[in-house]
Amino acid sequence: MSAATAPVPTPAPARARPSSAGGHLPGVARLALVRAGVELRQFWRERDAVVFVFAYPIVMLAIFSTVFGAEDQGTDVAQIGYAQYFLPGMVATGVMLTSFQQLAVSIAVERDDGTLRRLRATPLPASGYVGGKVLLTLATAVAQTALLLAVAALAFDVPMPSDAADWVTFAWVFVLGTATGTVCGVAFSSLPRSGRSASAVVTPVVLVLQFISGVFFAFFALPSWMQTVASVFPLKWIAQGMRSVFLPEEMAALETSGSWQLPATAGVLVAWLIVGLVVGVRTFRWRRRDDG
């Protein structure tokens, strides 16, 4: 470092070039919007993904309601139709599919197919990329849930809540659940080794959570150890929050605690939101894990 012959250290980047003076770097919010436009177009044009995301909860609702249509759910406390009991779980599962599963798989795939490499070479920051994903997730989650509720109400005669307070609960559980699923999806996307293995790694996680979280089976009917395990993860809480919206008040007696536990729901979801955010920010990679 002391050698007099050493080349003159380059001074701090002087923006010597007139072209760069012509514009400032675009802000993250604007970039997220640009990315959201790109993401929406790509998502919408990949028909199979659209069909899966939108049809899965509806098809499941249809199958379960048809097969078990004759059996009412509940005890002597309250009796409701199967479709009504099943709907909150499907709303929760839809939120998880569009946020967690979609993001974890799509980011892993884009890490593989050159999308992230190409974006990395541009001035687009990671926050702009993820921001676009968040907006896409929000748009698809809203559309998918609206469609599911419409089908449930019109085709399966599930009564919609008339109380404004229920819709307020619905709104915050939906938004918080989607946000949590999104950040966890971003964090989880770093786990699969390749884009091809992404579905194989992510789907079992989603499937197991669906079975133990009271989506396919009534939560109160599950073994208590399973309930305990499920209580650690967000899906159980999203489903329970949605039950508080779509099931009659008396059904709260069927919950393991005997109540809807909305504060606990908020607490668990916020905790996962923070964990997902921290892990996601720390582990986000533009390149594959095994790539030098």
Partner 1 sequence: MTPTTTPTTSRPAPPSGPPGSPGGPAVRVRGLVKRYGAKRAVDGLDLDLATGEIVAVLGPNGAGKTTTVEILEGFRARDAGEVRVLGEDPARAGRAWRARLGVVAQDSHDQAELTVAESVRSTARYYPAPRDPDEVIASVGLAGKAGARVRSLSGGQRRRLDVALGVVGGPELLFLDEPTTGFDPQARRTFWDLVLRLRDTGTTILLTTHDLAEAAHLADRVAVVRDGRVVATGTPETLGGPGARTPLVTWTADGVQHAERTDTPTALAAHLMATVAGADGEVVDLCITRPSLEDVYLGLVTNGADA
Q: What residue ranges bind partner 1 (CB under 8 A)?
A: 1, 3, 6-7, 10-11, 13-17, 19-20, 22-26, 30-31, 34-35, 37-38, 41-42, 45-46, 110, 113-115, 117-125, 128, 286-287, 292
Instruction: Tell me how far, at minimum, the Cβ of 99 lies from partner 1, in Å.
Output: 21
Report helix angle 47-67 to 82-96, nearest 10: 160
Report helix angle 126-155 to 102-112, nearest 10: 140
Identity of the residue, 41 or 193, whose beta carbon is nearer to partner 1 in the bound complex: 41
Helix (H) or strand (E) holding 45: helix 28-45
Identity of the residue, 42 or 227, whose beta carbon is nearer to partner 1 in the bound complex: 42
Instruction: Tell me how far, at minimum, the Cβ of 152 lies from partner 1, in Å.
Output: 31
Supply the Cα-derived Rg of the chain in whole angstroms: 23
Instruction: Tell me how far, at minimum, the Cβ of 22 lies from partner 1, in Å.
Output: 4
Instruction: Tell me how far, at minimum, the Cβ of 45 lies from partner 1, in Å.
Output: 4
Q: How far apart are CA 149 and CA 93, in angstroms?
A: 13
Identity of the residue, 65 or 115, whose beta carbon is nearer to partner 1 in the bound complex: 115
Closest to 79 measured CA to CA, from 71, 87, 68, 90:
71
Q: How far apart are CA 271 and CA 44, in angstroms?
A: 32
Instruction: Tell me how far, at minimum, the Cβ of 179 lies from partner 1, in Å.
Output: 25
Cα torsion 220, 226, 229, 231 to 10°: value is 0
Identity of the residue, 7 or 258, whose beta carbon is nearer to partner 1 in the bound complex: 7
- Side-chain half-sphere exposure of 120, counting CA atoms within 13 A: 11
Identity of the residue, 10 or 224, whose beta carbon is nearer to partner 1 in the bound complex: 10
Instruction: Tell me how far, at minimum, the Cβ of 78 lies from partner 1, in Å.
Output: 48
Identity of the residue, 76 or 290, whose beta carbon is nearer to partner 1 in the bound complex: 290
Identity of the residue, 42 or 256, whose beta carbon is nearer to partner 1 in the bound complex: 42
Closest to 240 measured CA to CA, from 101, 91, 140, 62:
91
Angle (CA) 84 144 43, round 5°? 155
Q: Which two tokens stand for residue 272?
A: 């996962």
Instruction: Tell me how far, at minimum, the Cβ of 28 lies from partner 1, in Å.
Output: 10
